[in-house]
Structure 1
């Protein structure tokens, strides 16, 4: 089946959760027999040659500002998809806004089957904007919308009661090697909603090493805070997605201290696949994956004492870490292997194309 995948940003220009997941997913789907074409932004001269196994169409846009870049991309990619609609069997829109609305317009004009996949921030951070909310409502009531966890489905259903929703999480590679390190690790952007300052405060007085893998606007502030608190933190910076595994292998507990807006973080699933127990805050899809007391611990966002206590209990108890880490890996193997994700997506493709015919 010829599947178009629409994603606004793409590696290596942007290395976020959605972008990394989309690249890996496109490769896995292509290798499993689908014909994949990814539509994404062009970055002009900063665009490296792609050796991906799938077709990659870079869409021109005016990068004067984030707004103009997004709006000109939306206009241009709509034209490209109208042109290519007869070649595609189905369009997979990564994020309900703005990509899902592009799919909605193209489908109205051509009949091309499409669906949207809410990734987290595209719903939680945009639903209060009246214009964006209107576009999301059109999509949610028109076609299948995938979400990454049951409690995200409940949140979306609360906003759009007539939405056609199904749950499908991210895919992840299952490594042959289990982690056997000594560090606490955080992997992700260094921005306000990630709550990294709560992790630093929770680790005040700990001798354990903290690996902070990622970059963002709060890096300097967080580095200074770590020094003032006496936390033994190493700020690694942004690394290629393929390099994250090497840092996970150095670790024994993964912490996700977010205060808002997570979908289903790739890095958390990767940590679990490495047999690392998780301490995470109960935001969006996280609480459905981290089974409290089984694969890790879940605490309330911003609750530093609870974060500290749960982290300390894992660091102090090797048997507990081992049990939870083993169960975390088993959970990911069962629910997030690429075989399972591809099988589910193939079923959705078949359902959408057969119903449109």
Structure 2
């Protein structure tokens, strides 16, 4: 089977969970015997800036349709909306006539809802900055329209979790959305070699873009509570936090860490490539994912692959991957005391945390590899019983 995957952001050029999932799926499908091409930006693909990809991908898509003659064309996220439209308009003249699939990592309407202040018991923990408010006003409505277009035109609509599938059905007005979980293990990414200035092992680790829905403000509050037990005595062992990522909230987060007296406990590393993230995970006590909204975060799977336990908010698709009490800890979102309590358990009993990490590694191997993704994709997309999708 010939499969054409279309995506705007692809590794190693871009740090993108959605783009990496395209490459993971491609690896799995190739192992399953499919002939796969990936169309993105760069040589042979779309030219120009990332923001214009929905338009600039159309000429190379037309050339790929004529040359490669795919049996399935799959678009991803809002960036594939116009590509989906072109396939639908042209496929009556194409032989074979390609089936159109759309894979969505989030509902853009739900992502818009997540651009809001973070609160705990009436107290504001953080507010979105101007960049995120501008996204809400201008970029998000366009993404919502193009994402809905992709879903409504597609013969098969896929989402990365059951929760995301329900959101897509509700927000885009489609039915029969199939679940294709995110996976890891199909790309050869080696841990970067140690560097001078690396944080000493045993820290708590956050990895991701620093925007309001990632909930790092909640994590800072939890860390402050963790480091000061009742009566002001420091927690034992002392908690340290490493933040790998950059983004709109970075300056506000650094200022808040200073206000909370966490200058010696929090280290901001900025944007890190995939190799450095692997090295950071290998030395971490736990990965912390305090988000208020996600699809199915790739970094959770990467932590599980390294045997690192996960402490995460029980939101979106996260509970479909992390089993509370088995391979990690799940806590309510926007709840610093609950998050602090889970982190205290991680630090107080490293051996119990290690066992949860090992169970996470086994769970990953059993459910979240490229081979699993390929088998599920072939069932959902290539099988005549895969479903109708779309509207």
**What is the TM-score when the length of structure 2 is the normalising length?**
0.75
CA spacing shift, 1:348–1:288, aligned 2, 3 Å: closer
Structure 2 residue 47 is matched with structure 1 residue 14: no
Matched, 1:170 2:182: yes
Deviations 1:269-319 (A, max 9, x none): 111222222111122211222222222222222111111111112221234
- How far apart in 2 are the matches of 1:270 and 1:75? 33
Aligned counterpart, 1:108: 89
**Matching residue of 1:209:** 240
Query: How far apart in 1 are the matches of 2:30 and 2:218?
Result: 41
Q: Does residue 185 in structure 1 map to residue 185 in structure 2?
A: no
Equivalent residues of 2:214, 2:291 under 8 A apart: yes
* Other structure's SS at 2:210 match: coil
CA 1:314–1:354 in 2, change beyond 3 Å: closer, same or farther? closer
Where does residue 145 of structure 1 map in the other structure? 157
Secondary structure of 1:189's partner?
coil
1:60 equivalenced with 2:47 (yes/no): yes
Instruction: Give yes or no for contact 2:108–2:144 (8 Å, CA) kept in 1.
Output: no
SS of structure 1 residue aligned to 2:269 = strand
CA contact (8 A) 1:126 1:132 kept: no
CA distance in 1, matches of 2:146, 2:281: 39
User: Is 2:258 aligned against 1:227?
Assistant: yes
Aligned-residue offset at 1:340: 1.2
Task: Write the deviation string for residues 321-352 of structure 1: whole angstroms up to 9, x where unpaired.
Answer: 13322221221111101221122234445327
The residue that corresponds to 2:26 in the other structure is 26
Aligned to 2:58: 78
The answer for the alignment partner of 1:2 in structure 2 is: 2
Please list the CA deviations of residues 197-218 of structure 1 after superposition, one character each: whole Å capped at 9, or x if unmatched: 1111111125222121112122
Q: Do the aligned partners of 2:7 and 2:79 also contact (CA within 8 Å) in 1?
A: no
2:364 is equivalent to residue 332 of structure 1: yes
Is 1:278–2:293 an aligned residue pair? no
Counterparts in 2 of 1:327 and 1:18: CA distance versus 1, 3 Å = same
**Which segments of 5 or more consecutive residues in structure 2 lack a partner in the other structure?**
92-96, 114-135, 192-199, 228-234
1:89 is aligned to: 71
Q: How many residues align?
A: 332
Establish whether residue 236 from structure 1 lines up as the match of residue 247 from structure 2.
Answer: no
Q: Conserved in 1, the CA contact under 8 Å of 2:190 and 2:278?
A: no
* 1:28 shift after superposition: 4.8
Aligned-residue CA RMSD (Å): 3.1
CA distance in structure 2 between the aligned counterparts of 1:101 and 1:282, rounded to whole angstroms: 34
Is the contact made by 1:214 and 1:239 (CA closer than 8 Å) also made in structure 2? yes
User: Per-residue deviation at 1:122?
Assistant: 4.2
Relative CO higher for 1 or 2, CA cutoff 8 Å, sep ≥ 6?
A: 2
- Three-state SS of the structure 2 residue aligned to 1:115 is strand
Q: Does 1:218 align with 2:238?
A: no
TM normalised by structure 1 equals 0.81
Aligned pair in 2 of structure 1 residues 289, 144: CA closer, same or farther (>3 Å)? Answer: same
Give the SS at the match of 1:203: helix
Compared CA separation, residues 200 and 347, structure 1 to 2 (3 A): same
Contact persistence 1:4–1:91 (CA under 8 A): yes
- Aligned equivalents of 1:320 and 1:219: distance in 2? 33
Alpha-carbon distance in 1 for matches of 2:144, 2:74: 20
**Secondary structure at 1:302's aligned position in 2?**
coil
